[in-house]
Structure 1
Amino acid sequence: MVVVPRQGGELAVGGPAEQVTEAWLANRRLSEHTRAAYRRDVSAWLAWCAERGADPLRVSFLDVNAYARGLESLKLAPATVARKLSGLSSWYDFLMKIRAIDANPVAGADRPYVSRDHSATLGLAPEEVDALLAAAASAGVRHFAVMTILADLGLRVGELVGLDLGDLGWERGHRTVRFVGKGGKQRRRALTPAASAALDGYLAVRGDAEGPLFVTSTGGRLDRHAVFRLIRRLAGEAGIQEADRLSPHSLRHAFATAARAEGVPLEDVQDAMGHADPRTTRRYDRDRHNLDRDPAYMIAAARARRAGG
């Protein structure tokens, strides 16, 4: 049972605050990466309150606004500030549910506007993805397998590094990979022939011992930071502009954009990427404003066929 002081009590970093945070996280389906980010966000907020002698249980939306403006002064992206406030809002909602507070101070705060139609992640053109994969092929079988799976399946980096050897399988003639997606959802995807071949090349070197699918030279699990460094190094070797701004998410963007450009229905891309909201998928589609895809052309063509028939 989590014991939290009622309003007027003290809630600071450590002790009851950590208990509350862990109880809150335990009641949500989140990846370990997201849990760690939320812990950092709550700790940063509590530290900010402590520096100003503010009781987190008695702050108002004005305090939250001041905190948000401070984050913005650090040149954090609006989406980053909005995410941090969203996590705090969820934390305070939990405090309301356990009756530690009567109102959520984040609810009335002035959150930065973040367009659902825009993403700050730098994308890649299909030709740049090809060049990146060529550089990966020259760098080694593990690097090539990592980049090919990211490019062909559009996985999140956390989903990729969380894979175990036992997650590989077969289903109705498809070679598959199972993983835990965002929100703790169990998902499975089919491996393309290219991804399957790249994976086989890597497994021939890795061996069939149990454990993480992608391992370091010392046998530990490959982490997201290593994948970030890898894609930037390979992009630099491939001559891709702004290589130092790329991330594994750039390949996820490229996957969505290429799929839509090839005519894959939005619903299928949404399912493949594990998005609950189709608007999220559309944000990744960098070619969505291409006038060649204006439905007016299809409607006019259909009218012309009827008139000609």
Structure 2
Amino acid sequence: MLSSEVPVRRRAIPTPALPAGAADFTEAWLANRRLSAHTRAAYRRDVAGWLGWCADVAADPLRAQFLHVNAYARWLESTPNARSGKPLTPATVARKLSALSSWYDFLVKLRAVETNPVTGADRPHVDRDHSATIGLTPEEVNALLTVADRATGPTAARNRVAVALLVDLGLRVGELVSLDVGDLGAERGHHSVRFTGKGGQARRRALTPSASAAVHDYLALRASAAGVPVHLLTGALLVTSTGARLDRHSVFRLVRRLARAAGIPGWARLSPHSLRHSFATTARAEGVPLEDVQDAMGHADPRTTRRYDRDRHNLDRDPAYAIWAARSRRRG
């Protein structure tokens, strides 16, 4: 090194602490991935469920075989869930095993286990062309919005924002409740909102005029109650009467309560995801290209978007009509 050169100090990169036990691996695994807070919590529950089952049957999760995973999957499929009273659906079991497989892949990379036992397991078959979620017709969505618009009370303005964002943007419930006031903005003449989607992907969406108006009215009421200008509001976008962040269970109850008041059949089985399905179906029915709907919903695979489109088998949309019409025009 020349005498005139100044040695450059490099910041030492801390070595990640290796976990000591099976439970500790979960946090190391989650810290190693770009995930939204909602996805992180769901994965943590999925692994915790597996570890709890292993403890009950006296199985070492670090020495588990595919036979253990098979037994766990069959147990999930046959055991009533504490919340619903019914066994989990094949799609939910498959999702849990997918999270577990990712966890074991991480352990294999750390050489904590030799192989991933989920790889050889018998996973439930999931029909990629069908979803068990109940969707709403455009008329039912309108009825639900009408009930929300006519509602009064201290939470009415907040509820209108929640429903507007679910209906107009097709957000996941986890994305909705994770929104902060600071996520709102304006881009190229559009009112917009930024958020972290599934897989930790940073995303942005345009607010429709009705959603933007609902947000404006709600924040104006909050600012007035707090005695501050709107631009000084911080924290969660949707809050409870105590100022806490609205949780996903409250949104589930809200959707069902509004649907019941709107006279929508099957209201007790609806969920915020029902509005996400309706968003996809309506967008495709209005001629929005599949790739644009896919981008809006944050789907990595277009087949997932197609599952949400309940009207995809409608013969009115058969491309044969478009081909026939074009041929007729050419033939004069």
* Structure 2 length-normalised TM: 0.87
**Shift in Å, 1:120:** 1.1
Q: Larger radius of gyration, structure 1 or 2?
A: 2
**Shift in Å, 1:109:** 0.4
For 1:243, the equivalent position in structure 2 comes to 267
Q: 2:324 aligns with which of 292, 300, 305?
A: 300
Q: Which letter maps to 1:248?
A: P
List aligned pairs for 1:212-251, cutoff 5 A.
212-251=236-275
For 1:11, the equivalent position in structure 2 comes to none
Structure 1: tracts of 5 or more residues without a match: 5-14
Q: 2:134 aligns with which of 118, 122, 131?
A: 122
Pair 1:177-2:193 in alignment: yes
For 2:109, the equivalent position in structure 1 comes to 97
Q: 2: distance between equivalents of 1:233 and 1:297?
A: 41
For 1:256, the equivalent position in structure 2 comes to 280
Q: 1: distance between equivalents of 2:275 and 2:18?
A: 45
Q: 2:70 aligns with which of 51, 65, 68?
A: 65
SS at match of 1:177: strand
Q: 2: distance between equivalents of 1:101 and 1:257?
A: 44
Q: Which letter maps to 2:107?
A: L
**Shift in Å, 1:3:** 4.1
For 1:80, the equivalent position in structure 2 comes to 92
Q: 2: distance between equivalents of 1:160 and 1:223?
A: 9
For 2:4, the equivalent position in structure 1 comes to none
**Shift in Å, 1:212:** 1.0
Are the aligned partners of 2:94 and 2:126 in contact in 1 as well (CA < 8 Å)?
A: yes
SS at match of 1:128: helix
Pair 1:24-2:48 in alignment: no
SS at match of 1:228: helix
SS at match of 1:169: strand
Q: 1: distance between equivalents of 2:130 and 2:263?
A: 26
Are the aligned partners of 1:3 and 1:16 in contact in 2 as well (CA < 8 Å)?
A: no
Q: Which letter maps to 1:257?
A: T
Q: 1: distance between equivalents of 2:260 and 2:267?
A: 5
Pair 1:41-2:46 in alignment: yes
Q: C-alpha deviations, 1:222-244, integer Å up to 9, x for none?
A: 11111111111111111111111
Q: Which letter maps to 1:123?
A: G
**Shift in Å, 1:32:** 1.6
Q: 2: distance between equivalents of 1:81 and 1:149?
A: 29
For 1:10, the equivalent position in structure 2 comes to none
Number of residues of Structure 1 aligned to a counterpart in Structure 2: 298
**Shift in Å, 1:262:** 0.6
| Segments ≥4 residues shifted beyond 3 Å | 1-4
Are the aligned partners of 2:18 and 2:28 in contact in 1 as well (CA < 8 Å)?
A: no
CA-based RMSD: 1.2
